[in-house]
Structure 1
Amino acid sequence: MKKLRVGIIGAGMAFEKLHYPAYQELSDKYQIAALCDADRFKADAWAGRLGLGPQDVYTDFREIARRQDLDLFDIMVPIEKNYEVTDTVAAIARKPIICEKPLAPNLRQARAHAELPRKYGIPVMIAENYRYNEEVDMIRDLVRTKKVGDILYFIQNRVVNFPEDMLKNKFPAREWRQYPEFEGGALLDTGVHDLAALRHIFGAVDRIQAFGREQSQDFAPYSVVAVNILFKSGVIGTFSFYSAGKEMQRPLIGLRIFGSGGMIYLEERDCGYINIAHNDGKHELLRYKPQRGYYNELLNFYNAAMGKEPISVTPEMEYGDAKMVFDILKSVDEEKIVEVDRGYDYIPVYRAGRGTERHPDPYLM
């Protein structure tokens, strides 16, 4: 089996906690052959752990991009640098790229990022792990097969205690997240996951109306946003994202999908089971393995490189996810209903297991 030689750009927490464990699990398919980080001490420490020599360690991403013996690059840098670094590496290397989500810090750069595969003629995957998580695919299939009848509406409440988490060894502890140079702060960084999952399940979005509670802390312009969403499929629902406190009750509100014949309930992504309650009193419990998105996205990228399947999450698709965040901010700021996916008039195309949606031109949005 051919191993793909990977160049890592950015050896921070995303690499340590998310991508590296998946690479270890897929060691028959990938070999980390070079590594770059602006922090030389961190880069050297990882080189020792990975068994890389001094010639395989870089502090300038432009230099590693010139390596001819690498098959692809995995870019994990602060959000405000995602487009800049990806565009530069693509221009130099003309090699396949994996880039962390969200694809850009603002709408203008997100639009430009969506163009990169066509601009340089290379495959680019955005590592939006929620679109690869088992539970999201399972719920998507339950909706497709009308397990609880026609879907009428949903509610989802997501709570993140950013002020507390930034004092722990968690992602909010990073200074660039506490003082973001990207629009929306925690909403773009974390809330985009939930919006991507909802779009994966229900498809394109027609219109949204959002409200926000302003706050003085820098990590997000609003401590909470509440969004009314109308999907093009006709499904309606509400999504709330609270990034400055705790949800004390158990079970959590989570994601609740109501159909004409029952209800689908996911408390939170790490609980390991999906509840299905039928109107006739029957109940089902579907189990899944949490946090498989990182493995599944790297497996998808490998299979795409081998010509076995298409990349499931392209920059064009992630542009839609990021644009929805910017549209929420616009709706709050301008106090109006905002049209989201103007160019999208399709019903999602589902396949068994993980599928892909065929998107029309994203620039019509």
Structure 2
Amino acid sequence: MDKLKVGIIGTGLAFSRLHYPAYQELSDKYEIVALCDPEPDKTRPWAERLGLSGGSVYTDYRPMLWRGDINVFDIMVPIEHNFRVTEDVARAIARQPGRAIICEKPLAANYEQARAHAELPSRYGVPIMIAENYRYSEEINIIRDLVRQKKVGEIVYFIYNRVVCFPEEMLKNQFAREEWRQHPVFAGGVIMDSGVHDVAALRHIFGGIDKLHAFGVPQRDDFAPYAVVTVNMYFKNGIIGNFSFYSAGKEMQRPLIGLRIFGTAGMIYLEESDCGTINVAYNDGRAEQIHYRPGRGYYNELLNLYNAMKGLETISVTPEIEYGDAKTILDILRSIKNGGVVAVDNTGDYIPHYRSFQQPAQFEYHQLKWH
């Protein structure tokens, strides 16, 4: 099967640490043929590594758009540029078969841009995939299947606590070192940038959110307007729960609170995305562990796009799906500011269609005795 030719827009950490390893693993399906970054020092070593000539390296992405040999444009730019760049690319390749766009999450910086981004595929006739890796990760898809299969009975409520120490990560060679993340010009700062993953996971597992009520502790640091937000959520299927995102500290005790889902017949527990194990405990005393491979979201999303481009399946995470994730974060911020309940998904019984990754042979189940 022919390889898809890729043009990279933005060669920062998202490319080097997240997307490029997945492209390497899928080298029989993708080939990077062009690079763009406004900083030549970033593209130069990549051009040498990939064997690209000077004519395939750009400081402005717009001339790249007129190349006829590129099938996929992979956009990895600061959040405030996501909509503008994606719209430029979509307009340039409008209704050209065999061409598509990948855009990093969240898809936009505010309500207006997010809604406009969600309309780009239909407006320009271009397939767009949003690289929300939590929706493509093994652990979230397994948990989603466990919930839908009523493995622990009817779900009653959940607790989801996420803690990151952005001030410490700013001093390391991490994503937080980026100036545009330390002094963001998009709503919510790190709450939008990182918290949108967690919201995407919850919406992927439970479906649409009917309404929410949020509170926050204000801070003066630029990286986020609130040190912590805590949100009560009511989903359209009747499930309730609490989501907390603390961006300025640490959770010292193990096991972490993580994601805990309580049902009428038991409980599902995921400590953190990198732990490799989902724990399931039953009210009758049984327990089991489900092992998964951490960090497979990037691989799965690229494989999904490739298969979609070959007509084998549909794109799982479209701008319309991601619009709901970004809107939820913006609704959380609005609820804190206004001090009230905010309606989120206004479509009735919103349960989006997703590709299922679970195949029983892929996962190990270990029966345990619950003490």
Scaled to the shorter chain, the TM-score interval is: over 0.9
Say which of 168, 191, 196 aligns to 1:192: 196
Name 2:70's counterpart in structure 1: 70
CA shift for structure 1 position 183: 0.2
Residue-pair matches, total: 355
CA shift for structure 1 position 186: 0.5
Structure 1 runs (4+) deviating above 3 angstroms are 346-352
Distance 1:342 1:78, change over 3 A: same
Secondary structure of the residue that 1:200 maps to in structure 2?
helix
Name 1:319's counterpart in structure 2: 323
- Contact 2:81–2:108 (8 Å) recurs in 1: yes
Secondary structure of the residue that 1:168 maps to in structure 2?
coil
Say which of 275, 281, 299 aligns to 2:279: 275
CA shift for structure 1 position 347: 4.2
CA shift for structure 1 position 44: 1.4
Say which of 333, 342, 347 aligns to 1:343: 347
Name 1:148's counterpart in structure 2: 152
For 2:353 and 2:45, locate their aligned partners in 1 and report how far apart those are by CA, in whole Å: 45
- Contact 1:132–1:354 (8 Å) recurs in 2: no
CA shift for structure 1 position 348: 5.2
**Matching residue's letter, 2:157:** Y
For 1:212 and 1:246, locate their aligned partners in 2 and report how far apart those are by CA, in whole Å: 17
Say which of 333, 338, 341 aligns to 2:337: 333
Cα displacement string for residues 94-146 of structure 1 (whole angstroms, at most 9, x for unaligned residues):
33100000000111100110011011101000000000000000000000011
Cα displacement string for residues 185-242 of structure 1 (whole angstroms, at most 9, x for unaligned residues):
0011000000000000000000000000000000000000000000001000000000
- Which is further off, 92-101 or 52-61? 92-101
For 2:348 and 2:255, locate their aligned partners in 1 and report how far apart those are by CA, in whole Å: 36
For 1:91 and 1:351, locate their aligned partners in 2 and report how far apart those are by CA, in whole Å: 28
For 1:161 and 1:346, locate their aligned partners in 2 and report how far apart those are by CA, in whole Å: 34
Name 2:366's counterpart in structure 1: none
For 2:35 and 2:265, locate their aligned partners in 1 and report how far apart those are by CA, in whole Å: 52
Name 1:118's counterpart in structure 2: 122
Identity of aligned residues (%): 65
Secondary structure of the residue that 1:104 maps to in structure 2?
coil
Does 1:255 find its partner at 2:259? yes
Matches within 5 A, 1:235-254: 235-254=239-258
For 1:354 and 1:114, locate their aligned partners in 2 and report how far apart those are by CA, in whole Å: 28
Gaps of 5+ in 2: 360-371
TM-score (norm 1): 0.96
- Contact 2:141–2:356 (8 Å) recurs in 1: no
Does 1:47 find its partner at 2:47? yes
Does 1:223 find its partner at 2:227? yes
Secondary structure of the residue that 1:271 maps to in structure 2?
coil
- Contact 2:233–2:242 (8 Å) recurs in 1: yes
Name 1:360's counterpart in structure 2: none
- Contact 1:75–1:100 (8 Å) recurs in 2: yes
For 2:358 and 2:227, locate their aligned partners in 1 and report how far apart those are by CA, in whole Å: 33
Distance 1:36 1:349, change over 3 A: closer
- Contact 1:233–1:347 (8 Å) recurs in 2: no
For 2:358 and 2:215, locate their aligned partners in 1 and report how far apart those are by CA, in whole Å: 33
Distance 1:344 1:8, change over 3 A: farther
**Matching residue's letter, 1:60:** D
Secondary structure of the residue that 1:227 maps to in structure 2?
strand
Name 1:358's counterpart in structure 2: none
**Matching residue's letter, 2:250:** K
Name 2:170's counterpart in structure 1: 166
- Contact 1:141–1:350 (8 Å) recurs in 2: no
Does 1:107 find its partner at 2:111? yes
Secondary structure of the residue that 1:346 maps to in structure 2?
coil
For 1:312 and 1:196, locate their aligned partners in 2 and report how far apart those are by CA, in whole Å: 13
For 2:74 and 2:350, locate their aligned partners in 1 and report how far apart those are by CA, in whole Å: 32
Name 1:310's counterpart in structure 2: 314
Distance 1:45 1:352, change over 3 A: closer
Say which of 292, 295, 303 aligns to 1:291: 295
CA shift for structure 1 position 354: 6.4
**Matching residue's letter, 1:110:** A
Matches within 5 A, 1:200-219: 200-219=204-223
Gaps of 5+ in 1: 356-365
TM-score (norm 2): 0.94
- Contact 2:316–2:355 (8 Å) recurs in 1: no
CA shift for structure 1 position 351: 6.3
- Contact 1:37–1:43 (8 Å) recurs in 2: yes
Secondary structure of the residue that 1:146 maps to in structure 2?
coil
Name 1:353's counterpart in structure 2: 357
For 1:182 and 1:349, locate their aligned partners in 2 and report how far apart those are by CA, in whole Å: 29
Q: What root-mean-square deviation, in Å, do the aligned CA atoms of Structure 1 and Structure 2 show?
A: 1.2
For 2:238 and 2:155, locate their aligned partners in 1 and report how far apart those are by CA, in whole Å: 9
Secondary structure of the residue that 1:18 maps to in structure 2?
helix
**Matching residue's letter, 2:208:** A
Does 1:12 find its partner at 2:2? no
**Matching residue's letter, 1:80:** E
- Which is further off, 342-351 or 35-44? 342-351
- Contact 2:237–2:349 (8 Å) recurs in 1: no
